[in-house]
Amino acid sequence: MSVEHEQSERTIRCLVAKVGLDGHDRGAHVIARALRDAGFEVIYSGLHRSPDEVVQAAVQEDVDVVGISILSGAHNTLVPKILDGLKQYDAFDDRLVLVGGIVPDDDKAELRTQGVDEIFGPGASMEEMIAYIREHAPER
Amino acid sequence: MSDLVADLLAGKHSALARVITKIENRAPGYRDIVSALHQHTGHADVVGVTGSPGAGKSTLVDKVAAAYRKQGLTVGVIAIDPSSPYSGGAVLGDRIRMASNAGDMDVFFRSMSARGSLGGLSTATTDAVTALDAFGKDKIIVETVGAGQNEVDIVRTADTVAVLVPPGSGDDVQMLKAGILEIGDVFVVNKADLDGADRTVQQLREMLQNRGDGGRSGRADSGHHGPDQTAGEATEGDLATNGAEDIDTWRPPIVETVANRGEGVEGFLDALADHGDFLDRTGRRDDQERARFAAEIRTLLREDANGLVTRELERQGGLDRLVDDVVAREIDPYTVVDEVLAPLRDCLDRET
């Protein structure tokens, strides 16, 4: 009855996660802030998270977007573990998985086939990323 | 929808997470879900933790959750952070402090943002606690920044409320102002290794002496309980002890902790357990539960009645038209309200 006028636009929730031995989080902070200013709810994981912790956060927080920041070059090891974990908890299909950081072109195709939706490298603009999320955030 | 309820009751984490999302978004069908969950609740012990930003709430909650896990208990945490009044966005950072429980799925940690809606947040928090309770969590911790009325509403969902006071939070007038003394069942001076901690403990003790028993433990419903309410019973002399002679009076203990090193956490747990025993012994747990449901029903009634009134307003031509008439001095606001509510009043009169 009062549901109609309570119903505003759904808030998009994003996880910004730093995995592995990678202490560079300034980029992640900047992105967290930009996403916040775009009106999203951002859950920031903090540094040095294991894939398990990222999965735990993504599942429990029921985020629409799992943003993984990796600058260490270990993406081929860490990202598949996160994808597997999400599938294990039945939390993969209705979630956007984004990777940000330094990913060589040769690795991008492989990550995509494994289930990463988009990869943002150096030079990607904030607007681009926000527009991408708005457009592709899963319908629930 | 019922699949979601069944999955939650079966212990599926993603179902619990999705139910809380629906509660937060007030998504279609969320009411049916919460209704279906209600009969499965009533088993969890709910602890509220509040305090100023940076007081160490998340760090303490992390340590407490880990301690409960060691006792073999499962834990749910709802951490509420403010959202931007401009963009509506939020950075929810409490999760960073949950290092002791990393990877442990039996600690279900959920961040919620205030989303600008005052009344809505306490309803959403209550419903999220319902979901965690139905899921089977033994302990549920609700953590929120304490700064005003809103937090008081939120902590009402808790059986026991802990208030964190960091050293150097100002003089005793600040404590008067903050209004935190009324809501705390247990006070925690965190960062007790910092200079000024002793003084903060001392100030708190003095302030609590003056509080008497007008605080939260005495209240069953918005501060007013039956005739057994004994405000002002506390006299200056017997304050330091929870004397056996007044077993029905709760004297909030002051616990010192250094949460990031895990110091004092045992003492804090003991204080929470003592308060739990007190609630059981005196029957206050049941009183509080009744008061909580009464408040919840009242809130929901108000929201739904508002919705009905809005519809009735639309049916009668909308608010703007009425405002036009009031501006033109053809009618006054009181008469407008009388007229809008006339159909409802007629219905009630017919019944009696």
User: Is the minimum CB–CB distance between B109 and chain A shorter than 8 Å?
Assistant: yes
* Inter-chain CB proximity B84 and A56 less than 8 Å: no
Together in a domain, B88 and B207? yes
Together in a domain, B72 and B194? yes
Nearest to B75 by CA among B29, B116, B132: B132
Task: Give domain status of residue A124, yes or no.
Answer: yes
Together in a domain, B250 and B138? yes
Task: Give domain status of residue B17, yes or no.
Answer: no
In order along its 140 residues, chain A shows pLDDT tens digits of 333 334 446 789 999 999 988 888 888 899 999 999 999 999 998 888 999 999 999 999 999 999 999 988 899 999 999 999 999 999 999 999 999 998 999 999 999 999 999 999 988 899 999 999 999 998 87
Q: What is the pLDDT of residue B172?
A: 60
Confirm if B76 and B108 have CB atoms less than 8 A apart.
Answer: yes
Together in a domain, B187 and B323? no
Together in a domain, B202 and B257? yes
User: Is the minimum CB–CB distance between B303 and chain A shorter than 8 Å?
Assistant: yes
Nearest to A35 by CA among B83, B110, B24: B83
Residue B303 has pLDDT above 90, yes or no: no
Q: Distance between CA A57 and CA A54 in Å, rounded?
A: 5
Banded pLDDT at B106 (limits 50, 70, 90) = very high
Rounded to the nearest angstrom, the minimum Cα separation between B245 and chain A is 47
Domain ends where: B229, B249, B282? B282
Give, as one character, the DSSP assignment of residue A40: -
Nearest to B284 by CA among B179, B162, B161, B180: B161
Task: Give domain status of residue B243, yes or no.
Answer: yes
Together in a domain, B139 and B259? yes
Task: Give domain status of residue B25, yes or no.
Answer: no
Q: Mind listing the pLDDT tens digit for each residue in B115-142?
A: 755 456 778 899 999 999 999 999 999 9
Together in a domain, B278 and B306? no
Report the greatest alpha carbon distance in chain B: 71
Task: Give domain status of residue A2, yes or no.
Answer: no
Q: Distance between CA B117 and CA B124 in Å, rounded?
A: 10
Q: What is the pLDDT of residue A2?
A: 37
SS (H, E, C) B262-293: CECHHHHHHHHHHHHHHHHHHCHHHHHHHHHH
What domain range includes position A12? 8-136
Cβ contacts of A3 on chain B, cutoff 8 Å: 26, 28
Task: Give domain status of residue B11, yes or no.
Answer: no
Q: What is the pLDDT of residue B204?
A: 84
Residue B181 has pLDDT above 70, yes or no: yes
Indicate which CATH number applies to the domain containing A104. 3.40.50.280
Count Cβ neighbours within 10 Å for each residue of A89-100 and write b for 16 or more, e otherwise: bebbeebbbbbb
Task: Give domain status of residue B292, yes or no.
Answer: no
Together in a domain, B214 and B150? yes
Closest residue in chain B to residue A46, using alpha carbons only = B96
Looking at the structure of chain A, the number of domains it has is 1
**Residues in chain A, overall count:** 140
Q: Mind listing the pLDDT tens digit for each residue in B6-29?
A: 999 999 999 999 999 999 888 889
Q: What is the pLDDT of residue B223?
A: 38
Together in a domain, B132 and B220? yes
What domain range includes position B193? 40-282
Residue among A13, A39, A56 minimizing CB distance to B88: A39
User: Residue type at B350?
Assistant: R
Together in a domain, B200 and B311? no
Cβ contacts of B102 on chain A, cutoff 8 Å: 49-50, 52-53, 56
* Inter-chain CB proximity B26 and A6 less than 8 Å: yes
Other C-beta atoms within 10 Å of A134: how many? 12
Task: Give domain status of residue A1, yes or no.
Answer: no
Task: Give domain status of residue A3, yes or no.
Answer: no
Task: Give domain status of residue A24, yes or no.
Answer: yes
Other C-beta atoms within 10 Å of A85: how many? 21
Domain ends where: B282, B315, B333? B282
Alpha helices in chain A (DSSP H): 3-6, 26-37, 51-60, 75-88, 105-114, 126-136
**% of chain A with per-residue pLDDT over 90:** 73
Closest residue in chain B to residue A30, using alpha carbons only = B91
Together in a domain, B271 and B305? no
Task: Give domain status of residue B9, yes or no.
Answer: no
Cβ contacts of A10 on chain B, cutoff 8 Å: 25, 27
Q: How remote is the C-alpha of B94 from its chain's centroid?
A: 17
Give the mean model confidence (pLDDT) for residues B236-256.
66
Instruction: Report the residue of B7, B21, B141 to disrupt the A interface, i.e. the one with the largest count of A CBs within 10 Å.
Output: B21
Q: What is the pLDDT of residue B327?
A: 96
Q: What is the pLDDT of residue B352?
A: 65
Q: Does B165 or B268 have the greater pLDDT score?
A: B268
Indicate which CATH number applies to the domain containing B144. 3.40.50.300
Banded pLDDT at B171 (limits 50, 70, 90) = low
Count Cβ neighbours within 10 Å for each residue of A21-45 and write b for 16 or more, e otherwise: ebeebeebeebbbbbbbbbbbbbbb
Tokens 């077993």 appear where? B247
User: Is the minimum CB–CB distance between B13 and chain A shorter than 8 Å?
Assistant: yes
Cβ contacts of B12 on chain A, cutoff 8 Å: 90
Domain ends where: B282, B311, B328? B282
Q: Mind listing the pLDDT tens digit for each residue in B27-40?
A: 889 999 999 999 99
Q: How much is the ipTM here?
A: 0.87
Together in a domain, B151 and B197? yes
Looking at the structure of chain B, the number of domains it has is 2
Of the listed ranges A75-84, B83-92, B157-166, the least confidently predicted one is B83-92
Q: What is the pLDDT of residue B176?
A: 58
Cβ contacts of B25 on chain A, cutoff 8 Å: 10-11
Instruction: Report the residue of B62, B75, B84, B95 to disrupt the A interface, i.e. the one with the largest count of A CBs within 10 Å.
Output: B95
Rounded to the nearest angstrom, the minimum Cα separation between A68 and chain B is 15
Q: What is the pLDDT of residue B119?
A: 55
